[in-house]
Chains A and B, each alone.
Chain A
């Protein structure tokens, strides 16, 4: 188990190295002078020179690279030009919001996606199956910002059940958190639940065809046990890998959801950073978020090994 985690960490290192290099290189891909791009066309030469100096753009490229990694080593990702705060500090403020929201959406996704996928597989070619798959197809075809807008109109404006936006931290007021997070979480989860339901259904159908399912039935096990124990334990193995993808999509989706519902999370701050050419914030935010995702995927691989004894024993 630990062996697998260590090995995966080992293979994640070169990926993170390339990710950090690409993130560093971003600013140099800006057509023309990045300092002018940041300062804007109306900036004075002094302002431009200041920015160039602050970002280290006046130094040779290798020197800049050295500074980038030296700062990374001490956890310094620079200062946000827009907010004036260290990038790491901004991220530490914003990440809990995005993570809480993503965890909520992930729970909804797993609940709806797994249940409807399993139900569809067990009732293959019946109305249950067809209803679940129509729902899933609509889910994956409905842009989450469109769904979010429709939900705001219906639940916030017309019915006045929930606020149109804003955010209350769970630690401040759990009920307020639920009220502000539910629509954003649903608007994210519906799409992903559709994706998960489709994968769960096809995986379950594949597993239910296996010989060991016939063995379980031949032993006289009740149907519920055959499905919930023997089939599900095997189907969850490939589904686990999908969870890594879902988390990545949740982080992507947070950009839209947080902007739409005015939630002060990572997605919102990064969108603002992009719109305001706050490059240090974009670079740092992207790097930290990606590092977190790589970590999530390592976790997923460990879960995979936990679920599959064949992997667990080979990797020990």
Chain B
């Protein structure tokens, strides 16, 4: 049994113009200690997948239409609020893209770390403080004990993301979801944070679900990769396989324009066209309108994920011909 088992997950949003699916029929596993990369353009459904797992989407308008998320054997999609609160933190923790706005501006960072521990463990104040300082040191904040009294606005972006990591990891989660953790940071800081993430994984042994649109970040860190497009998984493979022999045209497009490792921010798409809006997705393969290999039969139906090798699947009906 894997740590996280997502099966046929579909997350729908109620909008003014009917219901749209942001995530559709997504299935994957994540094992203990493993780093799973999820790649895709913004709007591909990767963040919604993460927030669905965390149960952090506002309901309504969001709802889990079909499928299940099992974490350590427990189905998260129909858990009570209070049970879910106990999973968040010691079970699954999350860091977000925007360190500048993800910390509460009116409380000290020490308070924000300590209250995380206090929400899950009964500890005296002094023990809370010691644990928080220890964690701050682990994420590389110098003179941690004095920085406990700092407010977020007194820290740089990189330091704030370190504090976010401290908050996420202070309860020793089994799974860390990192949603674009370096995107908002300067290039040099990005590398430091990624290194830190890997060090922490080695120390704590948690699994990581790393969401990014940056193939360079994936190459550096992930064990296995899922590529998403317009709400669906289009390819899944071990990281070496994906980079050596990508099979889905979308993945190939992504790799052709990989910026040199993590230097170039954002612009990874040299594929012509844009992601279709959820309400006007084409019939059949959603990538077909932008695909240079597209045939008329691509519009016939949504292509199923084909198993190409152990652990390698792709959703394209014309793979053999390419």
In the complex they form, whether A and B have CB atoms below 8 Å apart is answered with yes
Name A residues whose Cβ lies closer than 8 Å to a Cβ of B: 210-212, 214-223, 225, 229-230, 233-234, 237, 307-310, 313
Q: Are the C-beta atoms of A220 and B167 separated by less than 8 Å?
A: no
Residue among B88, B102, B106, B171 having the largest count of chain A Cβ atoms under 10 Å: B106
Residue among B94, B104, B167 having the largest count of chain A Cβ atoms under 10 Å: B104
Partner of B119, one of A219, A234, A237, A313: A219
Residue B132 at the chain A interface, CB threshold 8 Å:
no
Q: Are the C-beta atoms of A310 and B104 separated by less than 8 Å?
A: no
Question: Which residues in A have their C-beta under 8 angstroms from that of B104?
Answer: 212, 215-216, 230, 233-234
What's the least CB distance linking A272 to chain B, in Å? 47
What's the least CB distance linking A190 to chain B, in Å? 31
A-B contact pairs, 12 of them (CB 8 A): A212-B102, A214-B102, A215-B104, A215-B167, A218-B56, A220-B85, A220-B87, A220-B120, A221-B85, A223-B85, A233-B107, A237-B106
Q: Are the C-beta atoms of B105 and A220 separated by less than 8 Å?
A: no
Question: Which residues in B have their C-beta under 8 angstroms from that of A225?
Answer: 115, 119
| Contacts known (A223-B81, A309-B106); A215 close to B96, Cβ less than 8 A | yes
What's the least CB distance linking B42 to chain A, in Å? 16
Question: Which residues in A have their C-beta under 8 angstroms from that of B168?
Answer: 218
Residue among A216, A237, A308 having the largest count of chain B Cβ atoms under 10 Å: A216
Partner of B151, one of A216, A218, A307, A313: A313
What's the least CB distance linking A185 to chain B, in Å? 32
Q: Are the C-beta atoms of B93 and A218 separated by less than 8 Å?
A: yes
Residue B49 at the chain A interface, CB threshold 8 Å:
no
| Contacts known (A212-B101, A223-B81, A310-B153); A218 close to B106, Cβ less than 8 A | no
Q: Are the C-beta atoms of B153 and A219 separated by less than 8 Å?
A: no
In the complex, residue of chain A having the shortest beta-carbon distance to the beta carbon of B115: A221
Question: How many B residues have CB within 8 A of the partner chain?
Answer: 32
Partner of B102, one of A211, A220, A223, A233: A211
Q: Are the C-beta atoms of B151 and A310 separated by less than 8 Å?
A: yes
C-alpha spacing A216/B88, complex, angstroms: 10
C-alpha spacing A234/B107, complex, angstroms: 10
Interface residues of B in 112-165 (CB under 8 A from A): 115-116, 119-120, 151, 153-154, 164
Q: Are the C-beta atoms of B106 and A233 separated by less than 8 Å?
A: yes
Question: Which residues in A have their C-beta under 8 angstroms from that of B82?
Answer: 222
Question: Which residues in A have their C-beta under 8 angstroms from that of B96?
Answer: 211, 214-215, 218
Question: Which residues in A have their C-beta under 8 angstroms from that of B106?
Answer: 233-234, 237, 307-309
C-alpha spacing A307/B90, complex, angstroms: 31
The SS class assigned to the A binding surface is: helix
| Contacts known (A218-B56, A220-B90, A222-B85); A212 close to B103, Cβ less than 8 A | yes
Q: Are the C-beta atoms of A313 and B88 separated by less than 8 Å?
A: no
Q: Are the C-beta atoms of B153 and A220 separated by less than 8 Å?
A: no
Question: Which residues in A have their C-beta under 8 angstroms from that of B167?
Answer: 215, 219
Question: Which residues in A have their C-beta under 8 angstroms from that of B88?
Answer: 217-220
Q: Are the C-beta atoms of B101 and A218 separated by less than 8 Å?
A: no
What's the least CB distance linking B97 to chain A, in Å? 9
Residue B54 at the chain A interface, CB threshold 8 Å:
yes
Question: Which residues in B have their C-beta under 8 angstroms from that of A229?
Answer: 115
Residue B37 at the chain A interface, CB threshold 8 Å:
no
C-alpha spacing A219/B87, complex, angstroms: 9
Residue B181 at the chain A interface, CB threshold 8 Å:
no
C-alpha spacing A233/B111, complex, angstroms: 14
- Which 7 A-B residue pairs are closest in the complex by CB-CB distance? A220-B89, A220-B88, A211-B101, A212-B104, A309-B151, A218-B94, A219-B116
C-alpha spacing A223/B58, complex, angstroms: 13
Question: Which residues in A have their C-beta under 8 angstroms from that of B151?
Answer: 309-310, 313
Residue B86 at the chain A interface, CB threshold 8 Å:
yes
Q: Are the C-beta atoms of A313 and B153 separated by less than 8 Å?
A: yes
Residue B34 at the chain A interface, CB threshold 8 Å:
no
What's the least CB distance linking A278 to chain B, in Å? 49
